[in-house]
C-alpha cells in the first residue's frame, strides 16, 4: 500500500538569500535531487518551503533541508558555504528516508514520456517494478531475454531524467566484443566506430526525441557515446549511464564500470546471460556481479522471463524453447560429471 500523502511547510531561519541560493543549488539542482530520491515535490518562496509527498518522506525531507541549511552557514571570515551534490547525497543517505517504498508502487506519475508512438508505459508487473527500481535506485540491473523491454525502458527513463533536468547528460556504452574492444582499424571517429554496437540505444532515442534533436544533443555532448574500454579513469557525475549487453563484459570491466559512477548519477545495466559472446574460458562480468553483489541493498536486480517478451509472440516461444534446451544440456552435463566422479572413485578403490 502507498504511504499516506501529506503536505508540510517549514521556514528556514534566519532568512538569507545567499544561503538559500546555496541550499537550492544552481538551477535548483539540490532541490531536484532531493525530490527525485525521496519521491516528493518541493516548492518554495523566499525562506518558506512546502513539501508534498508520502508522510514519512516529507518529514525526512524537512529534516534534510534544515540540516543542509545549517551547513550553508559560513565559517569565520566566510559568509556562505556552497553546498555540493556530495553533501546533499550524504544528507539523504543519513536520513534513512530511502527505505520508503514510494517509488515501487507509483509509475504513471513519475514517468510519462510522449513519443511518436504515444506514452511510454510498462507492460506487466516485471516491467513496472523495473522502472520503479530505476527511479528508486542509483544502480539497477535488468537481466533477461531479448524483447523484454530492458533497454527501451532504460532509455525512456534516461530521456525522462534529462527532460526533467535531473541529470545533465546521458551516456551510452556497450562492450564491442565482436571487435575485441580494438576499434582503431575501423574508419571514422570514435562515435562512428562504436555506432554499430549501440544501434538499439540509438533507435530508442530517435523514437523518443526525434533524429534531429538527438543529433544536436550528441554534438553538444549532452548525449555521449563511449565504448566501455575507454571509460577507465573517468568519474561520471550528474549523468544517466546505460551499459547495454553487459553479459559480454569481463569481471574486471564490470568492476571498472560500476566504480565510475559519481554523485547524482544513475546507472542501468542490461544483459542476457543466455547470450554470452565471450570466449568459453572467460567468465561473464554480469554473471560474476550477480554472485558478488546480490546482497548489496543499494542495488536492484530485476529478472525478466519469456512471459515478459513484448515483441512478436513467436519470440517468446523461441526463448522458451532455448531455455528448455539449456536445462536439458545442464542436466546432461551434471549426469556426465556424476558418472565421471563415480568412475574415478571406483578406480581409486580397485585393488592394485
143 and 279 fall within a common domain: yes
**Residue 310 scores a pLDDT above 80:** no
Give the pLDDT of residue 100: 47
296 and 277 fall within a common domain: yes
Domain assignment present for 220: yes
Q: Which one, of 26, 7, 27, 24, lies nearest residue 16 by Cα? A: 24
Domain assignment present for 105: no
**Domain range enclosing 325:** 313-352
Give the pLDDT of residue 102: 46
44 and 17 fall within a common domain: yes
345 and 285 fall within a common domain: no
For 101, phi then psi, to 5°, come to -100, 35
36 and 12 fall within a common domain: yes
Starting at the earlier edge strand, list the strands of the sheet with 48-54.
Answer: 5-11, 48-54, 41-45
Give the pLDDT of residue 105: 45
177 and 297 fall within a common domain: yes
In this structure, are residues 261 and 231 in contact, taking their beta carbons and an 8 Å threshold? no
* CATH number for 136: 3.40.50.300
231 and 274 fall within a common domain: yes
254 and 139 fall within a common domain: yes
292 and 236 fall within a common domain: yes
178 and 303 fall within a common domain: yes
pLDDT band at 106 (very low <50, low <70, confident <90, very high): very low
Domain count, the chain: 3
* CATH number for 49: 3.30.1370.10
**Residue 222 scores a pLDDT above 90:** yes
Q: Which of 75, 99, 123 is the last residue of a domain?
A: 99
For 141, phi then psi, to 5°, come to -105, 135
Domain assignment present for 104: no
pLDDT band at 269 (very low <50, low <70, confident <90, very high): very high
Give the pLDDT of residue 31: 93
Domain assignment present for 132: yes
Domain assignment present for 38: yes
301 and 317 fall within a common domain: no
This prediction's pTM:
0.65
For 22-97, strand residue ranges (E) read: 41-45, 48-54
pLDDT digits (tens, 9 = 90+) for 109-148: 445 565 555 677 787 778 888 988 898 888 999 999 888 8
184 and 273 fall within a common domain: yes
**Residue 318 scores a pLDDT above 90:** no
Q: Which of 99, 134, 154 is the last residue of a domain?
A: 99
Amino acid at each position: 500500500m502507498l504511504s499516506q500523502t501529506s503536505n508540510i511547510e517549514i521556514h528556514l531561519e534566519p532568512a538569507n538569500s545567499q544561503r538559500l541560493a546555496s541550499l537550492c543549488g544552481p538551477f535548483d539542482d539540490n532541490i531536484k535531487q532531493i525530490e527525485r530520491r525521496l519521491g516528493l515535490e518541493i516548492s518554495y518562496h523566499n525562506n518558506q518551503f512546502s513539501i508534498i509527498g508520502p508522510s514519512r518522506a516529507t518529514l525526512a525531507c524537512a529534516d534534510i533541508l534544515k540540516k543542509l541549511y545549517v551547513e550553508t552557514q559560513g565559517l569565520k571570515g566566510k559568509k556562505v558555504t556552497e553546498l555540493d551534490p556530495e553533501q546533499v547525497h550524504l544528507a539523504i543517505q543519513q536520513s534513512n528516508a530511502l527505505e520508503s517504498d514510494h517509488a515501487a508502487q507509483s509509475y504513471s506519475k513519475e514517468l510519462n514520456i510522449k513519443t511518436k508512438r504515444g506514452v511510454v508505459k510498462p507492460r506487466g508487473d516485471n516491467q513496472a517494478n523495473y522502472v520503479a527500481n530505476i527511479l528508486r535506485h542509483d544502480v539497477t540491473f535488468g537481466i533477461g531475454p531479448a524483447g523484454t523491454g530492458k533497454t527501451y525502458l532504460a532509455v525512456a527513463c534516461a530521456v525522462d531524467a534529462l527532460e526533467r533536468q535531473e541529470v545533465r547528460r546521458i551516456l551510452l556504452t556497450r562492450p564491442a566484443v565482436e571487435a575485441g574492444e580494438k576499434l582503431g582499424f575501423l574508419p571514422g571517429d570514435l562515435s562512428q566506430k562504436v555506432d554499430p554496437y549501440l544501434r538499439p540505444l540509438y533507435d530508442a532515442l530517435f523514437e523518443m526525441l526525434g533524429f534531429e534533436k538527438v543529433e544536436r544533443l550528441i554534438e553538444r555532448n549532452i548525449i555521449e557515446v563511449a565504448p566501455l574500454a575507454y571509460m577507465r579513469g573517468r568519474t561520471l557525475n550528474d549523468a544517466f549511464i546505460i551499459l547495454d549487453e553487459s553479459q559480454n563484459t569481463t569481471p574486471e570491466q564490470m568492476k571498472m564500470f560500476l566504480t565510475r559512477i559519481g554523485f547524482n548519477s544513475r546507472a542501468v545495466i542490461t544483459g542476457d546471460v543466455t547470450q554470452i559472446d565471450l570466449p568459453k574460458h572467460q567468465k561473464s562480468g554480469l554473471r560474476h556481479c550477480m554472485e558478488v553483489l546480490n546482497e548489496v541493498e543499494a542495488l536492484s536486480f530485476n529478472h525478466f522471463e519469456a512471459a515478459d517478451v513484448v515483441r512478436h509472440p513467436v519470440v517468446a516461444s523461441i526463448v522458451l524453447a532455448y531455455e528448455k534446451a539449456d536445462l536439458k544440456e545442464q542436466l546432461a552435463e551434471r549426469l556426465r560429471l556424476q558418472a565421471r566422479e563415480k568412475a574415478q572413485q571406483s578406480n581409486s578403490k580397485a585393488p592394485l
